[in-house]
Amino acid sequence: MADNGDFSEKKKKRNHIPRRELAKKEIHRLIVEGLSNSQLCERLQIPRRTLERYLHEIFQEDNDILIRPTAEDVAMQANLFIERLLIQRQHLLKEIAYNPDVKDADAKVAAHELAADMIYAVKKLSTQTAADVMRHTRVMKEIVQQNNNKELTNVRYLPLKSTE
């Protein structure tokens, strides 16, 4: 490959990925310089259709990067969710389970069970990766779909596989 940015070769190699990636990086750099599409085609000596395909791939990759959350984003969202869940658990226990004005024993028992489920969820969110939680969610959705969206009886959660 010549130093002047010439990406054409006498010997055509179809779908040569390293060459394509170099061309896309060069296109990215030249776009920042403000070159138009016709100037890019001329500078890189590539057909307009090839440039359009490369631009589409570049924009798709950039969009994927912008949409994909980072590990830090996922951790922050998980921590916020855990915090909200713990606040809701405290509120549930205060307003129903430990409230002397609530006379319904079944409601108090249900509140304690729900509080226990919330602690279990917090523990799992604290010890499992986001991928494990997503797999668990997918499994639960599949179970619901298999049961034709009927109410599940006696199933609170599926145990997540330990990563330890």
**Do 54 and 96 have their domain in common?**
no
DSSP of 99-117, one letter per residue? -TT---HHHHHHHHHHHHH
User: Measured between alpha carbons, how far is 72 from 85 in angstroms, rounded to an integer?
Assistant: 20
Is residue 7 domain-resident? no
Domain total of the chain? 2
Is residue 153 domain-resident? no
pTM over the 0.85 mark = no
CB 158 within 8 A of CB 136: yes
Structure confidence by residue, pLDDT tens digits, 87-138? 999 999 999 999 999 999 999 999 999 999 999 888 888 887 666 666 766 6
**Do 90 and 114 have their domain in common?**
yes
Is residue 164 domain-resident? no
What Å distances lie between residue 46 and 41, 42, 62, CA to CA? 5, 7, 22
**Do 95 and 122 have their domain in common?**
yes
Residue 31: give the domain boundaries: 17-67
Burial class (CB in 10 A: 0-12, 13-18, 19+), 85: middle
* pLDDT for res 32: 87
Collapsed DSSP state (helix, strand, coil) of residue 47:
coil
* pLDDT for res 2: 45
Q: Is pLDDT larger for residue 71 or for residue 13?
A: 71
What's the pLDDT band for 74 if we cut at 50, 70, 90? confident
User: Measured between alpha carbons, how far is 60 from 45 in angstroms, rounded to an integer?
Assistant: 23
**Do 103 and 81 have their domain in common?**
yes
Is residue 42 domain-resident? yes
Mean pLDDT over residues 53-69, rounded? 85
> Which range (35-49, 72-86, 87-101) has the least confidence?
72-86
CB 105 within 8 A of CB 137: no
Res. 52: pLDDT tops 90: yes
Is residue 10 domain-resident? no
